[in-house]
Structure 1
């Protein structure tokens, strides 16, 4: 029996789990009042915008996976929007840039989260728009207890907000003061935005038609107009250390909408595992599963050095392939079938030895050799490039990395068996100024593009950035369905790999697999400005046995022992074919909770 910090919840009515207790409670309240998993997920998502504004926002991104009870396979909802029409490599290079700044307006792509939530609600939910938005409006209007990490994020940028981003100062510094941790924080502009949206569509007849009207108001009405008006003149300081004007327009917003696409899948040890497409980070986990398909993982100690070493080395290889070969399949050729094949995985497995690799080793696939060469070249170029230390760099991430916080995640299952796994992100308060009057900042996802031609992740108008966001589903041999995920940027599929392998091979329950010591590597080309790479790096929590940590050092890993309980913010729910539901949430950061009965 593994140690756990709390019980794995079980019941038959419904389960919600998320990175904030209020969002989980909101989702459960929706289920209790007759809503389904999709209604609950949307209400939770908009509540998370209010509860964790340093981690996500309505103008950010939102990939989600949905699994209707009567469908055999899950489906992906793409809430990762594309680069604006004016986002060309030439334009950015003309600004004197060789990397897209991690903050400010040049880092902005079309906001995707709102439309993705609306697509889910319209096609699969049952509740009216106003009812789903009511909890978020109430918390924004009347206040939500401010998280200590949110307060710290604001405090660290308070002077910068006052000097450079006054629209952010007006929202995040009420009465010109940093909010106190635990005190009620209100965002009246955000509440007013959603109230006006609901009022403008209230006269539309029919639930679905009303939601479509809201989508139009967002992308072509007063919200898009406010963004367009501001972007025409705003020049703001960003992580490059200079002020730049963005390229997003109202016309860009009017021309994009969220969409459905099939999930990618591989089979591993009798389990079917489902992830997002190659525009996401999801295939990394699938490649790891294929690489380790022939290893006797069940015979390994899940906290032992052999298990940690093997998974880490498989992750290094998968992330090297991500750097060379991942991108938007709608706009670039991706060798997807090869990358996800069992044969390719076993070929990659042959590269793993008992020593930790210190090299970036992308696959040299026929016809794609240039992309692999370019990935290695970029890694060497960036190693020589001076680190950018401007404000708001990168994704807010775990405390042992650059700054407190990260993204958010939620999982839901209802009494009928419908399931949702969603990872909202972007639009966080650190990386972009608030749009005047709306109470919310823009996203900074464009920083994941490269300013070099001919790559699947090159900046191009109409192309999706290669995001790190990575919700997940799996189905066990007995038919049990599991929804899971975590915030954490480049670490998302690393922590998910450890969780899933322990679930599959070591018989752990959801809470045990979440609470077990976690690890990750930064031996990868980081997705966020300044795009660092730490050869042979391995971070491990101190709950690992000392013998494991020493053996990893002896194997050549550049080991960083983290603070206790500081890696990963996993949540999960599951449903057995007989209707038994389960849920769990991480104790890390002391704010994620599962709720259910």
Structure 2
């Protein structure tokens, strides 16, 4: 089933793939101006804040993995904001909450995306700040044709906006109506915010690094932090059904800086796959690859067969069970053991012929796993609803995510997954033109867990960019929106591309599936034992066999799962790119 919707792009100058065509083309413009992959990725990131506001925003976060032409060793950029100083388990319990709400000011972490993009520019970019931000400022001030899903999202939460979030209604319900598909939409307040950062930077003089540092300090300690501090003190409705004030203060914003870190890596099928550390879910993909390698040659998997669907789903359940028990910022995650061949063999032995309905974390180094009460079936006092991205008018809101990959002619490469700060996350801060995110919902309000809430910790994010090397040379950058599904869809892509020999577009276009048989990372943290969601084009014979094996199968539309982007480098130096056709929004470009 090697059907493709588009060709894999090939060239030698530079390649970009992102979840929105305007971001891809804006990044390509930066390459044409002589910028490098890092300039281009940052430009795309700021444009995505404007053109995909239901999927990410400046009040959200971004992790990235990069490699430079001078040093191909992968490095992780952590733009995941932390829990504010006032975010304690005791505080939430005092409000009568058993879970952190999925929307509203109370769920906000310290924003991390803008500082991370600026840090990337400072350390590895080459162009002036104004040049990089010019497209985003232009689309915010002069308008851009809004995609239909923005209007759909706004209509779904229209009652919430009009009754409880008036500042969001003022921006997103202009004239009392949600934006119509392809209508020109403007956000002058956010254009002003970016322009003020640029002007503040230029006041530092002609030096590019000094300009960026001044812009960073202006964000952290100037008008942005001041507006956040004042607005977060005002109670607003959240998904608990009550009004609560936020916890992020100006001091929290001033105290956060994005950082560089070592990646988690796995040598697999002649490649080295690099992910974030276990403060994100990325190592779960590495665990899945390691277990599959113990079950046989990955190249032998027929990835349109019931056997392959069953095997990958059962392996994923095991990896995500370990995610629940062991992953978290500040946790003593035994990552070396979790990624070892010996541990992978013990996990592979648990993959049977029928679907498991249990959450089965392992015991690395003989340690006893600890799971949250919800995962053990205890009542936490909420009605379970599932699915991401979804929104509901009562205030239970979820957004999704963006992605961008860039590779340039010199060998610089970046994979970044911006998210959070969705227009439906929390009320718009009117002076800034954006809202904060709701990433705190990924913490548990129980002591003693790997991802228990604590001030200064990063939420265990689902955001998970990927960088792949062969013989020490970066050959692939990829990623996908999709919350808990991100690493499941990337697993299928890597199996098809790295082991199966399919080119980028073939591997993206092939049928996809995933499971939700583990606690969701998103409020209200539901779990569906035995679940398997698959694109219908896999066929009834595959479906019937999976049902026979005990899977609870949900048929999804034929082209609905997986939203991957990818860029690569072939052995002869030719650059490649591809993007997901599902939703008709993501595009690759290059030459």
TM-score by length of structure 2 reads: 0.96
**Which residue of structure 2 aligns with residue 310 of structure 1?**
311
Match of 2:449 among 455, 461, 465: 455
**Which residue of structure 1 aligns with residue 150 of structure 2?**
150
Q: Report which stretch shifted further, 380-389 or 279-288.
A: 380-389
How far the C-alpha of 1:388 sits from its partner, in A, is: 5.8
Once residues 315 and 374 of structure 1 are traced to their aligned partners in structure 2, the CA distance between those partners, rounded to angstroms, is 17
How far the C-alpha of 1:454 sits from its partner, in A, is: 1.4
Conserved 8 A contact 2:464-2:486: yes
Once residues 109 and 220 of structure 1 are traced to their aligned partners in structure 2, the CA distance between those partners, rounded to angstroms, is 17
**Which residue of structure 2 aligns with residue 194 of structure 1?**
194
Conserved 8 A contact 1:519-1:539: yes
Once residues 25 and 296 of structure 1 are traced to their aligned partners in structure 2, the CA distance between those partners, rounded to angstroms, is 39
Once residues 67 and 226 of structure 2 are traced to their aligned partners in structure 1, the CA distance between those partners, rounded to angstroms, is 35
Matched position secondary structure for 2:533? strand
Q: Report which stretch shifted further, 411-420 or 298-307.
A: 298-307
Once residues 404 and 96 of structure 1 are traced to their aligned partners in structure 2, the CA distance between those partners, rounded to angstroms, is 22
**Which residue of structure 1 aligns with residue 564 of structure 2?**
570
Once residues 399 and 560 of structure 2 are traced to their aligned partners in structure 1, the CA distance between those partners, rounded to angstroms, is 11
Conserved 8 A contact 1:397-1:407: no
Instruction: Give deviations 1:310-353, integer Å, cap 9, x for gaps.
Output: 1111100000000000001xx22111111111111111000000
**Which residue of structure 1 aligns with residue 94 of structure 2?**
94
Once residues 217 and 164 of structure 1 are traced to their aligned partners in structure 2, the CA distance between those partners, rounded to angstroms, is 30
Matched position secondary structure for 2:81? coil
**Structure 1 residues 397 and 574: CA distance shift in structure 2, 3 A:** farther
**Which residue of structure 1 aligns with residue 526 of structure 2?**
532
Matched position secondary structure for 1:584? strand
**Which residue of structure 2 aligns with residue 182 of structure 1?**
182
**Structure 1 residues 159 and 235: CA distance shift in structure 2, 3 A:** same
How far the C-alpha of 1:160 sits from its partner, in A, is: 1.4
Structure 1 residue 559 corresponds to structure 2 residue 557: no
Give the length in aligned residue pairs. Answer: 586
**Which residue of structure 2 aligns with residue 396 of structure 1?**
389
How far the C-alpha of 1:6 sits from its partner, in A, is: 0.3
**Which residue of structure 1 aligns with residue 204 of structure 2?**
204
Q: Report which stretch shifted further, 10-19 or 266-275.
A: 266-275
**Which residue of structure 1 aligns with residue 46 of structure 2?**
46
Conserved 8 A contact 1:102-1:394: no
**Which residue of structure 2 aligns with residue 354 of structure 1?**
353
**Structure 1 residues 478 and 441: CA distance shift in structure 2, 3 A:** closer
Conserved 8 A contact 1:17-1:584: yes
Matched position secondary structure for 1:435? coil
Once residues 544 and 367 of structure 1 are traced to their aligned partners in structure 2, the CA distance between those partners, rounded to angstroms, is 40
Conserved 8 A contact 1:382-1:532: no
Q: Report which stretch shifted further, 217-226 or 358-367.
A: 358-367
**Which residue of structure 1 aligns with residue 326 of structure 2?**
325
Matched position secondary structure for 2:371? helix
Matched position secondary structure for 2:432? coil
Matched position secondary structure for 2:16? strand
**Which residue of structure 2 aligns with residue 341 of structure 1?**
340
Conserved 8 A contact 1:383-1:533: no
Once residues 398 and 256 of structure 1 are traced to their aligned partners in structure 2, the CA distance between those partners, rounded to angstroms, is 30
**Structure 1 residues 576 and 211: CA distance shift in structure 2, 3 A:** same
**Which residue of structure 2 aligns with residue 163 of structure 1?**
163
**Which residue of structure 1 aligns with residue 14 of structure 2?**
14
Instruction: Give deviations 1:102-143, integer Å, cap 9, x for gaps.
Output: 001110111000110011000100111111111001000111
How far the C-alpha of 1:544 sits from its partner, in A, is: 0.9
Structure 1 residue 594 corresponds to structure 2 residue 591: no
How far the C-alpha of 1:568 sits from its partner, in A, is: 1.0
For the aligned residue pairs, the C-alpha RMSD in angstroms reads 1.8
**Which residue of structure 1 aligns with residue 109 of structure 2?**
109
Q: Report which stretch shifted further, 575-584 or 443-452.
A: 575-584
Conserved 8 A contact 1:146-1:185: yes
**Structure 1 residues 6 and 405: CA distance shift in structure 2, 3 A:** farther
Conserved 8 A contact 1:394-1:530: no
**Which residue of structure 2 aligns with residue 141 of structure 1?**
141
Structure 1 residue 445 corresponds to structure 2 residue 439: yes
Matched position secondary structure for 2:307? helix
Conserved 8 A contact 2:405-2:477: yes
Map 1:162-561 → 2, pairs under 5 A? 162-205=162-205, 206-232=207-233, 234-294=234-294, 295-328=296-329, 331-366=330-365, 368-369=367-368, 372-375=369-372, 377-381=373-377, 385-387=381-383, 396=389, 406-476=400-470, 479=473, 481-561=475-555
Once residues 287 and 114 of structure 1 are traced to their aligned partners in structure 2, the CA distance between those partners, rounded to angstroms, is 31
**Structure 1 residues 74 and 2: CA distance shift in structure 2, 3 A:** same
Conserved 8 A contact 1:228-1:249: yes
- Structure 2 alignment gaps of length 5 or more: none
Conserved 8 A contact 1:264-1:276: yes
**Structure 1 residues 468 and 398: CA distance shift in structure 2, 3 A:** farther
Conserved 8 A contact 2:321-2:361: yes
Matched position secondary structure for 2:377? helix
**Structure 1 residues 496 and 256: CA distance shift in structure 2, 3 A:** same
**Which residue of structure 1 aligns with residue 81 of structure 2?**
81
Once residues 452 and 301 of structure 1 are traced to their aligned partners in structure 2, the CA distance between those partners, rounded to angstroms, is 42
Once residues 128 and 555 of structure 2 are traced to their aligned partners in structure 1, the CA distance between those partners, rounded to angstroms, is 48
Once residues 13 and 229 of structure 2 are traced to their aligned partners in structure 1, the CA distance between those partners, rounded to angstroms, is 45
How far the C-alpha of 1:547 sits from its partner, in A, is: 2.0
Conserved 8 A contact 1:59-1:440: yes
Matched position secondary structure for 2:376? helix
Once residues 452 and 382 of structure 2 are traced to their aligned partners in structure 1, the CA distance between those partners, rounded to angstroms, is 22
Once residues 226 and 245 of structure 1 are traced to their aligned partners in structure 2, the CA distance between those partners, rounded to angstroms, is 14
Instruction: Give deviations 1:29-81, integer Å, cap 9, x for gaps.
Output: 11111111000000000000111000000010100111112323210000002
**Structure 1 residues 480 and 223: CA distance shift in structure 2, 3 A:** closer
- Structure 1 alignment gaps of length 5 or more: none
Q: Report which stretch shifted further, 468-477 or 360-369.
A: 360-369
Once residues 433 and 222 of structure 1 are traced to their aligned partners in structure 2, the CA distance between those partners, rounded to angstroms, is 18
Q: Report which stretch shifted further, 293-302 or 54-63.
A: 293-302
Instruction: Give deviations 1:345-368, integer Å, cap 9, x for gaps.
Output: 111000000101000001133564
Once residues 384 and 105 of structure 1 are traced to their aligned partners in structure 2, the CA distance between those partners, rounded to angstroms, is 21
How far the C-alpha of 1:577 sits from its partner, in A, is: 4.6
